[in-house]
Structure 1
Amino acid sequence: MVKEKKPLKGKIPSRRKFFKTAAATGAAATAAVAMPNLALGGGHTTLKMQAAWPSGANIFFEMAGDYAKMVDQMSGGTLKIDLQPVGAVVKTSEIGQAVSSGVLDMGHWVTAYWYGKNPAASLFGTGPSYGMSSQEVMGWMEYGGGRALYEETLAKVGFDYVGFFHMPMPAQPFGWFKKNVTKVSDVKGMKYRTVGLATNVLTAMGMVVRQLPGGEIQPAMKTGLIDAAEFNNPTSDSQFGMQDVSKHYHLGSFHQSQEMFEIPINKKSYNNLSPAHQAILKNAAYAANTDNYFKALVRYSADLSKLMNEHKVNVYQTSDAILSEQLKGWDKVVGDFSGKDPFFKKIIDSQKAYAKRVMKYLLMNQPNYKLAYENEFGPIAKVKI
């Protein structure tokens, strides 16, 4: 790192000092060329981050920007993030390797996007629930032994980065269908889009699963390449224009009932930062965690209302019959992978132990919030929003 030098107080440097300073400056310039993404100067550092999301009207790119703003504000402008959209430097699937090698300093995506390198990646965001939501999975990450297992998984796939997480996503919808589906037989044989371990779970249910990037989902459904699809939430789904290809939207599903953003940071870039800047990158993720969740609840509910009232989309809760079959699918997938991979089983065992204790307390302690809601507004299915 290049440290700021104190200004000379009215003194004229000697010839020897002048050349000594010039040599030091040249060495610093050489170091900057060797690490092009880490822009240094005047006590300021800029890190290049590429997201897996397009710029413009995209709430995920906006949330990545929220994190970048928090880093800027918390550092007093001395640490900045140059946020780039999907494809600006590398393809989405290449973000992890690009961060590891130093082509990028940082990324913004989800662990399911490197599921192809090791299925265990999906357990840090899109794994089985065991009663946990994203909030509890993030609790397991930080206080239940999950972080050490995550770092072990990174090492197994050859990723050389430090990772932080933010934004505990609400359960993802089962998605968009050409009709209301209530029975398992209604979805068998359907060509369906999802990612991560959810592909295995829904395949076990008899669905024909295809993994497609977010931007390809709506066109694929429009042309009939797929019959049904999920992405993430009412805001993102409406931004993709899913309401133009389907009028049947099923909320709440166990195929991806918990997920969060991963922020990978190149280890060399991270280690070259001051302890204060390292702490800011970590704690800004915690701050964005809360802020993004609050924003999501407001925006997702408002956009669900628009889908229902302006676009005449029929919204349903996914049936218990389908949810139960999803859980059976998870049991099969977890059993198959655990039987083949002791490390996968090690992560699952850790999650189960955490969920068994924490969720017993949480589920027994939580009152029936639906009862309170319906006491005020009436049956939830009939409430107009």
Structure 2
Amino acid sequence: MTRRTFIRGAGLAGVLAAGSAPAIVHAQTTLRWRLASSFPKSLDTIFGAADVFAKKVGEMTGGKFQISVHAGGELMPPFGVVDAVKEGTVEIAHTAPYYFHGKDEVFALGCAIPFGLNSRQMTAWMVEGNGLKLMREFYRGYNIINFPGGNTGAQMGGWYRKEVKSLADIKGMKMRIGGFAGRVLERMGGVPQNIPGGEIYQSLEKGTIDAAEWVGPYDDQKLGFNKVAPNYYYPGWWEGGPQLDFYINTKSFDALNPEYKAIVECAAAVAHVDMQAKYDAKNPGALRELVKGGTKLFRFPKDVMDAAFKESMAIYAELGSKNANWKKVYEDYSNFRREQNLWFRFAEAGFDDFMQSQKL
């Protein structure tokens, strides 16, 4: 999103709020879109971003542009949304791009890759770097235009039925792990499982899987993972700042007039900020309650982190030699990450390190 577009859209929102909308907005035929989410309604944070988006679009168009929001599984399977948007079955979806890395590994770069960008860095790459431009070029092949639609912030490393004391404990472990990280886990000796959020608890409870990761304390507590796997690890090295996206069918988006396009962009920006604000506000209390209830917190052993990093970098190098799309996007992503880490290691990390050691 460019500053100019954002300001233009924000200005329109102000006019609409004042009750004096431009004539061209009123001239737009009343629209009804369907939005397919990949998430269950019970997760008011990650699913809720789609509700925030739809509500803002309705408000800024005086009710003339209505978007109905459907939870994962209502219109199609949670992982069927990309094909649905591509074919025009629905106009829009809200999802985590890395779910679809099996189609092309570049999908993961639009969300999160192991040892990638944190949430602020991801937004910076999208908005001020080349991220949005490069991803939209890629998504064009799927009849999709994307808009950033939220970020969870750095995630936890998941729930484990047994303690992970060393890399040896990863061998043979069946773990529900999202997106691209499963490939890394597999090279470490683990057995990745790609399971939708609404089905994780049952799999963990029945012992079908040995471990599972989702997001962080607030969502994890709602899903009840602590009841069946008491060992909670951090950090989620595979998701330093996963971005959610709104995927819109290009034909549907192109049919909108300029004002409605700007409204869609602004509503997505509101949802993008709102999601992480919710997670940052709600996670601390949830973590405190989990620990109070018996959850045991552990940091991943160093050999696990080292092995994960080594295998991740090896995979990226291999992909660069056989996937032209990956090579193009990852080269820019990697260069941006290098510069961001140069900056964050000083002011940001220095401040955080000091503050988190204080007793306030």
The interval holding the TM-score normalised by the smaller chain is 0.7 to 0.9
State the shift of 1:43 in Å. Answer: 4.7
Query: Residue in 1 aligned with 2:291?
Result: 308
Closer/same/farther in 2, CA of residues 55 and 253 from structure 1, 3 Å limit: closer
Query: Residue in 2 aligned with 1:344?
Result: 326
Query: Residue in 1 aligned with 2:93?
Result: 107
Query: Residue in 2 aligned with 1:9?
Result: none
State the shift of 1:223 in Å. Answer: 1.6
Structure of larger gyration radius: 1
1:134 aligns with 2:115: no
Q: For 1:136-167, what per-residue CA distance to the aligned partner results, in whole angstroms no more than 9, with x for missing partners?
A: 12221222212232123224xx4112110122
The answer to whether the 8 A contact 1:58-1:239 is kept is no
State the shift of 1:351 in Å. Answer: 0.9
CA distance in 1, matches of 2:81, 2:47: 15
State the shift of 1:246 in Å. Answer: 1.0
State the SS of the aligned residue for 2:321.
helix
Query: Residue in 2 aligned with 1:146?
Result: 131
State the shift of 1:120 in Å. Answer: 1.4
CA distance in 1, matches of 2:340, 2:192: 33
What count of residue pairs does the alignment treat as equivalent? 334
Closer/same/farther in 2, CA of residues 371 and 88 from structure 1, 3 Å limit: same
Query: Residue in 2 aligned with 1:5?
Result: none
CA distance in 2, matches of 1:51, 1:357: 34
State the SS of the aligned residue for 1:355.
helix
RMSD of the TM alignment (CA)?
2.0
CA distance in 1, matches of 2:354, 2:329: 36
State the shift of 1:57 in Å. Answer: 5.0
Matches within 5 A, 1:55-134: 55-56=41-42, 58-130=44-116, 132-134=117-119
Matches within 5 A, 1:263-274: 263-274=246-257
The aligned amino acid for 2:254 is N
State the shift of 1:178 in Å. Answer: 1.8
The aligned amino acid for 1:342 is A
Query: Residue in 1 aligned with 2:15?
Result: none
1:164 aligns with 2:147: yes
Query: Residue in 1 aligned with 2:236?
Result: 253
Closer/same/farther in 2, CA of residues 137 and 362 from structure 1, 3 Å limit: same
The answer to whether the 8 A contact 2:182-2:192 is kept is yes
Q: Which consecutive segments of 4 or more residues in structure 1 shift more than 4 A?
A: 40-43
Closer/same/farther in 2, CA of residues 288 and 57 from structure 1, 3 Å limit: closer
The aligned amino acid for 1:107 is A
Q: For 1:72-113, what per-residue CA distance to the aligned partner results, in whole angstroms no more than 9, with x for missing partners?
A: 223332322111111221112221121122210110111112
Q: For 1:37-75, what per-residue CA distance to the aligned partner results, in whole angstroms no more than 9, with x for missing partners?
A: xxx999532211111112245432222212222222233
The answer to whether the 8 A contact 1:129-1:258 is kept is no
CA distance in 2, matches of 1:55, 1:107: 14
Query: Residue in 1 aligned with 2:308?
Result: 326
CA distance in 1, matches of 2:144, 2:327: 24
Query: Residue in 1 aligned with 2:222?
Result: 239
The answer to whether the 8 A contact 1:135-1:168 is kept is no
The aligned amino acid for 2:248 is I
State the SS of the aligned residue for 1:322.
helix
State the SS of the aligned residue for 1:166.
strand
Closer/same/farther in 2, CA of residues 225 and 283 from structure 1, 3 Å limit: same
CA distance in 2, matches of 1:103, 1:290: 28
CA distance in 2, matches of 1:41, 1:147: 30
Query: Residue in 2 aligned with 1:279?
Result: 262
CA distance in 2, matches of 1:41, 1:316: 58
CA distance in 2, matches of 1:173, 1:196: 15
Alignment gaps of 5+ in structure 2: 1-25
Query: Residue in 2 aligned with 1:195?
Result: 178
The aligned amino acid for 1:346 is K
CA distance in 2, matches of 1:171, 1:83: 26
How does the TM-score come out when normalised to structure 2?
0.87
The aligned amino acid for 1:337 is L
Relative contact order (alpha carbons < 8 A, sep ≥ 6): 1 or 2 greater? 2
Q: For 1:328-378, what per-residue CA distance to the aligned partner results, in whole angstroms no more than 9, with x for missing partners?
A: 12112112211222321221211111122233123222223232232224x
The answer to whether the 8 A contact 2:85-2:247 is kept is yes
The aligned amino acid for 2:136 is E
Closer/same/farther in 2, CA of residues 66 and 100 from structure 1, 3 Å limit: same
State the shift of 1:275 in Å. Answer: 0.9
Identity of aligned residues (%): 25
CA distance in 1, matches of 2:269, 2:77: 27
State the shift of 1:135 in Å. Answer: 1.9
The aligned amino acid for 1:94 is G
Q: For 1:193-217, what per-residue CA distance to the aligned partner results, in whole angstroms no more than 9, with x for missing partners?
A: 1122101111121111121122222
CA distance in 2, matches of 1:80, 1:278: 14
How does the TM-score come out when normalised to structure 1?
0.81
State the SS of the aligned residue for 2:345.
helix
The aligned amino acid for 1:228 is A
1:355 aligns with 2:337: yes
